[in-house]
Amino acid sequence: MRISRAAETYATHLADVRRLAPATVRAYRSDLADLTAASGDAELTDIDLEQLRDWLWQATQRGDARSTIGRRTSSARGFFAWAVEEHLLDTDPSLRLVAPKRGRTLPKVAASDSLTALLDLLREAAAEGDPVALRDHALLELLYGAAVRVSELCGLDLDDIDAQRRTVRVLGKGSKERVVPFGGAAGRALDAYLIRGRPPLLARAAEGRAPATAAVFLGVRGGRMGTRAVYDVVSRVLGPELGAAVGPHALRHSAATHLLDGGADLRAVQEILGHASLGTTQIYTHVSSERLTATYRLAHPRA
């Protein structure tokens, strides 16, 4: 069996049996497509360790990031381990394939006072009643207040919000559902948007003869808001603060860091973020530690 055919079967297995998220399956497809191209779509049984190392070396020569090469190493190891389990191969050629060590890249985090000031400005703009301004304020407050992923935000339906308990039910990675709390600021912004902002946007869908949707956040034509539109909103608002093109994850990073700065338990933050591993959450302890060190060096006379 050629690699391309085996890779397609493996991708189906990941989606239907292991039920991985669509984005994760796409990443595996992409990595294995790159391996297929590099090998000339060779027979699966013809691939050996040296060919796999050469494939990763080519990626290094192209200037691919270490994180990309590391992910491709992981994809190859998962693929060949599956091939052995399925009796497509007798031995696994990727067993000794080693990923390059990844440098630690700390996420960009907005200062809490600056972020508060930005959100207050958005609240004042939304008070004038423009539906889009009301929506943008609500979605940014919720991204920060509940630390949800952009895909989770875009997937929200009206019955996922419990306004009384101030919680939101989201569907995270691997189709895992969790309930996340949000604060008063996000609650007030959501109430204002749902009462005064969403109905005019939904009316636009009717005017364009688009089907009605239960989505919480709507685009300018009244349909469910997409991730690209949310990225644009966040980049416009947070870009000047962080000095770079940023996306919704910057608000999630900021929320996690500010929770730990405020004394939140690491495991509680893990639950809020929906991380499967505590190790993933621990990067925010490094962010908090480095911010503390930077403050010390600026403020202490004997630093």
Beta-bridged to residue 218, according to DSSP, are: 224
Say if CB 31 and CB 72 are below 8 A apart: yes
Q: State how far the Cα of 130 lies from the Cα of 200, in Å rounded to an integer.
A: 9
Name the percent of the chain in helix, strand, coil, to the closest 5: 65, 5, 30
pLDDT tens digits, the chain, 303 residues: what are they? 899 999 999 999 999 998 898 988 999 999 999 999 998 999 989 999 888 988 988 888 788 888 888 888 999 999 999 999 999 999 999 988 887 665 555 567 788 888 899 999 999 999 999 999 999 999 999 999 999 999 999 999 999 999 999 999 998 887 889 999 999 999 999 999 999 999 999 998 877 666 778 999 999 888 999 999 999 999 888 888 766 667 888 888 888 888 888 888 888 888 888 888 787 777 777 656 555 565 556 655 654
Q: State how far the Cα of 171 lies from the Cα of 191, in Å rounded to an integer.
A: 22
* Catalytic positions: 149, 173, 249, 252, 275, 284
Say if CB 195 and CB 174 are below 8 A apart: no
- pTM of this prediction exceeds 0.85: no
Burial class (CB in 10 A: 0-12, 13-18, 19+), 87: exposed
